[in-house]
Chain A
Amino acid sequence: MKTLRQFLDNNKPKFEKGGKYEKFKSTFDAFETFLFVPDKVTFKGSHIRDVIDMKRTMSVVIIALVPALLFGMWNVGYQYHLSTGEQATFFGNFWFGFIKVLPIIIVSYVSGLAVEFIFAQYRGHEVNEGFLVSGILIPMIVPVTTPLWMVAVATIFAVVIGKEAFGGTGMNIFNPALLTRAFLFFAYPAQMSGDKVWVYGLDSGAKTVDGFSGATPLGNAGLELFDKIPPMMDMFIGTIPGSVGETSKIAILIGAAILLITGIGSWRIMLSTILGAVGITLLFNVVAANRYMEIDPLTHLMMGGFLFGAVFMATDPVTAAQTNRGKWIYGILIGVMAILIRVLNPAYPEGMMLAILLMNTFAPLIDHYVIQANIAKRLKRSKLIVNN
């Protein structure tokens, strides 16, 4: 550890202005601060500071994602072996999935971080930790069969156009991971939807056992095959086809608990998103114009990426509403929109992605009105006094 510190100190001057490698200053800083919390002290303002920083915050989110990711890896193997009818051990399933998912993680991180490092250097900033979360979210919300080059193209698009063009982490309007998925969804629909993409091997036309379709619960619901929706327990545990990280509700709830206990994830957004979805579903249940409308709220929460989106995507602090009151409105509208799209627009089986991106667009407007109310209250107070 001491030798490492010494090595860094010895090489630091080379990366300072005028040094041999000054073009890589941000990169050097990023690795140095990754290894060591810097020795910088306060010089103005509060002399003491909380130990929390962006790295800590982001690593808590990553820890919260780990249960869903590990389960997702296992499920990739499980679904594959289910489709081929082969027997596999628990570890065999996991290893199979690990080998399939790891390349997506690597491609997502490498392409996204490369963009981040270049922009940080160009702007003279430190490298922001925001992409550490986006980079792991991306593999979790795409089908395991997504070609790696597509992941790379979509990630670079999302980071450059969705984030850096607005000024980097903290300034972006859209959630970068969701933008990646939206890009894939609209640019390469064949690889992103249908029955064949969710289970490894199906897309290449491999032989499957009879009766194995590979369709997701939402896919079945969209085709009005309501009796093919798997049992509630399967959807809760996650032994169903779907994007890598979205299938296990229990793993997502563990992640939600981590985010809520640490206070990193907004309970207001999680709760209001679920309330919005439950509310609109109950309304549909009353109307019950077709069989999709009759699906009960719990099934809706268990299907597709709703819960994953509510816990990990809608709560992104940068792209969500930023005021506490705004967060309630934002969450409720996401829940309502997601179910509306599912039930009323059969062209898009899953509405969560579009619902969150749509509300990302409206979040600044929601905040604007919440803040205007605060301003109006202040103005009213001063007018009252003038009149007296």
Chain B
Amino acid sequence: MSKTITIKKGLNINLVGEAAKTITVVEAEMFAIKPSDFHGVFPKILVNEGDTVKVGTQLFFDKYRENIKFTSPVSGKITELRRGAKRVLLEIKIQSDSTNDFVDFGKSDPNNLNREQIVERLLESGVWPMIRQRPYNVIANPDHNPKSIFISGFDSAPLAPDYNLIVEGQNAAFQTGIDALKKLTDGKIHLNLQQGVSSSTVFTHCKNVEINYFNGLHPAGNVGVQINKLSPINKGDIIWHVRPSEVLTIGKLFLEGRFNAERIIALTGSEVIKPHYVKTKIGAMARNLTQNNVASGKLRYISGNPLSGIKIDREGYLGYYDSQMTILPEGDYSEFFGWALPGFGKYSFSRTFLSWLGSGKKKYRLDTNIHGGHRAFVITGQYEKVFPFDIYPMQLLKAIMAKNIDQMENLGIYEVVEEDFALCEFIDTSKTEMQAIVREGLDFLRKEMN
């Protein structure tokens, strides 16, 4: 029996630059895998600069969990292993030769394989890292049997890609992916769709899943919110989650016998001249994707959405899990008496700027200015308005800052990840870096618990 759940606490931020529903194919030249996309992974590198790799060739594995391997999304040559401070590996850059030579993992029907065989194949092909677990938002442990697996069938973040477009026509791959995932858990696979829009038949006709509907405001599409409403995480629970485009990759591993890293990416943001979708592969270079399609001026390139994406630059690369790239104007200007002006046309969740008198349908072109200085927590009750969990956000943040493990657990840290605090951070009067605090808390807790 499918349920409909309405998220009332939240905020939809209307921004300029939503992607038009057309897809162009881009043959990008440069790709990269960034170990920083995988929380808690310590890379042991297996390739050298100048090596030739195929699609599916192993690049590195996790020092702490050696069976978790990461493979190349394209065929070509390793051009650089870029390192940062303390020789931390930042990027493995690969120049594509466009031949798509691939390592053959063999076609098969997951319904005829047992759990061990499926896990083995996912690990060998480097597809396993697409399965992530809550709590902590890290790559799943193949030895666990999760309570359930969640798939959010829509993204509610500002300018988010339309997953219906991304999966369109790929019924077979999606169903095969689900069939493979079904073997990994004794629990259910939850597929959560948006109420009130006509979802793709890829989702609605899918078997072996329990479909529930969500409507209301962002963060309704965050998988963490959906888990919290349907099957909240208690201490010791493990839940896995996968995004629809990653289900397709899992399905194609079995259908085609190869690591198919194809991604449809939404190019969004006010500074993209023609926002639309592009078909490329995991880890494509921003410059290759946005050629001649960005406005002039100082720009912020974001892999992901404006609230929880990662800052990259024009020469940077798309994140492993992202289906969206956003380009916004930088906000490095100072504004004369900006805090005192009436503020028509400025975006604020509060009603302290007169812009709230205008129409609610206006689309905004927001930049990256912080709009104020960092302060201690002063205003109370504002975060609760955009935070749909039964959790006290400010108190949890304070517990994390104090590194008080008992209190963090008591206040529900296992139920959240950094993206769930993105809206609180957006509306925050005190300009606290909440997502960073939550991430630090999760990393700290994971270290203490293991």
Q: Interface residues, chain A, CB within 8 Å of chain B?
A: 1, 4-5, 29, 33, 35-57, 59-60, 126, 128-130, 167-171, 261-264, 266, 268, 317-318, 320, 322-324, 327, 367, 371, 374-375, 377-379, 381-382, 385
Partner of A37, one of B335, B382, B422: B335
**Chain B residues whose C-beta falls within 8 Å of the C-beta of A170 in the assembled complex:** 375-378, 430
Report the 9 A-B pairs with minimum CB-CB distance, sorted nearest first. Answer: A53-B372, A170-B376, A37-B338, A382-B234, A36-B334, A55-B339, A45-B435, A322-B380, A48-B366
Instruction: Known contacts A37-B339, A50-B348; decide if A55 and B333 are in contact (CB<8 Å).
Output: no
> Chain B, 373-399, contact with A by CB distance < 8 Å: what is the 0/1 string?
111111111101000001110110000
> Chain B, 343-358, contact with A by CB distance < 8 Å: what is the 0/1 string?
1001111111100000
Cα-based distance from A318 to B425 in the complex (angstroms): 19
- Across the interface, do A44 and B370 meet the contact criterion of CB distance under 8 Å? no
- Across the interface, do A130 and B350 meet the contact criterion of CB distance under 8 Å? no
- Across the interface, do A371 and B392 meet the contact criterion of CB distance under 8 Å? yes
- Across the interface, do B411 and A375 meet the contact criterion of CB distance under 8 Å? yes
Partner of B370, one of A49, A56, A171, A371: A49
Q: Does B13 contact A (CB under 8 A)?
A: yes
> Chain B, 63-83, contact with A by CB distance < 8 Å: what is the 0/1 string?
000000000000000000000
Most buried by B among A44, A49, A54, A375: A49
- Across the interface, do B343 and A375 meet the contact criterion of CB distance under 8 Å? no
Most buried by A among B158, B371, B395, B431: B371
**Chain A residues whose C-beta falls within 8 Å of the C-beta of B337 in the assembled complex:** 35-37
**Chain B residues whose C-beta falls within 8 Å of the C-beta of A130 in the assembled complex:** 378
Cα-based distance from A323 to B412 in the complex (angstroms): 16
- Across the interface, do B379 and A57 meet the contact criterion of CB distance under 8 Å? yes
Partner of A53, one of B232, B347, B373, B426: B373
- Across the interface, do B433 and A37 meet the contact criterion of CB distance under 8 Å? no
Q: Does B330 contact A (CB under 8 A)?
A: yes
**Chain A residues whose C-beta falls within 8 Å of the C-beta of B331 in the assembled complex:** 39, 41
**Chain B residues whose C-beta falls within 8 Å of the C-beta of A41 in the assembled complex:** 300, 330-332, 367-370
Instruction: Known contacts A46-B306, A320-B380; decide if A52 and B350 are in contact (CB<8 Å).
Output: yes
Q: Contact size class for B? A: 35 or more
A135 to chain B, nearest CB (A): 16
Partner of B435, one of A29, A44, A126, A367: A44
Instruction: Known contacts A37-B339, A48-B306; decide if A54 and B430 are in contact (CB<8 Å).
Output: yes
- Across the interface, do B234 and A48 meet the contact criterion of CB distance under 8 Å? no
Partner of B381, one of A5, A54, A327: A327
Q: Interface residues, chain B, CB within 8 Å of chain A?
A: 13, 15, 158, 232, 234-237, 300, 302, 306-309, 311, 326, 328, 330-340, 343, 346-353, 366-382, 384, 390-392, 394-395, 410-412, 418, 422, 425-431, 433-436
**Chain B residues whose C-beta falls within 8 Å of the C-beta of A43 in the assembled complex:** 311
- Across the interface, do A48 and B368 meet the contact criterion of CB distance under 8 Å? yes
Q: Can you list 29 A-B contacts with CB-CB less than 8 angstroms, sorted by A residue number?
A: A37-B337, A37-B338, A38-B334, A38-B372, A39-B332, A40-B373, A41-B332, A45-B418, A46-B307, A47-B326, A48-B307, A49-B369, A49-B370, A50-B350, A50-B427, A51-B353, A51-B371, A52-B349, A53-B373, A53-B431, A56-B340, A57-B378, A264-B350, A317-B380, A318-B380, A323-B392, A324-B381, A371-B411, A378-B234
**Chain A residues whose C-beta falls within 8 Å of the C-beta of B13 in the assembled complex:** 48
**Chain B residues whose C-beta falls within 8 Å of the C-beta of A50 in the assembled complex:** 347-350, 371, 426-429
B420 to chain A, nearest CB (A): 12
- Across the interface, do A38 and B373 meet the contact criterion of CB distance under 8 Å? yes
- Across the interface, do A51 and B343 meet the contact criterion of CB distance under 8 Å? yes
Most buried by A among B373, B428, B431: B373
- Across the interface, do A42 and B422 meet the contact criterion of CB distance under 8 Å? no
Instruction: Known contacts A39-B333, A264-B352; decide if A381 and B234 are in contact (CB<8 Å).
Output: yes
- Across the interface, do B410 and A375 meet the contact criterion of CB distance under 8 Å? yes
- Across the interface, do A261 and B351 meet the contact criterion of CB distance under 8 Å? yes
- Across the interface, do A46 and B426 meet the contact criterion of CB distance under 8 Å? yes
- Across the interface, do A39 and B369 meet the contact criterion of CB distance under 8 Å? yes
Most buried by A among B236, B381, B412, B426: B381
**Chain A residues whose C-beta falls within 8 Å of the C-beta of B308 in the assembled complex:** 45-46
Find the B residue at minimum CB distance from A323. B392
Cα-based distance from A210 to B15 in the complex (angstroms): 68
- Across the interface, do A33 and B426 meet the contact criterion of CB distance under 8 Å? no
A149 to chain B, nearest CB (A): 31
Given contacts A170-B377, A171-B376, 5 further A-B contacts (CB under 8 A): A29-B373, A169-B378, A170-B430, A266-B381, A318-B378
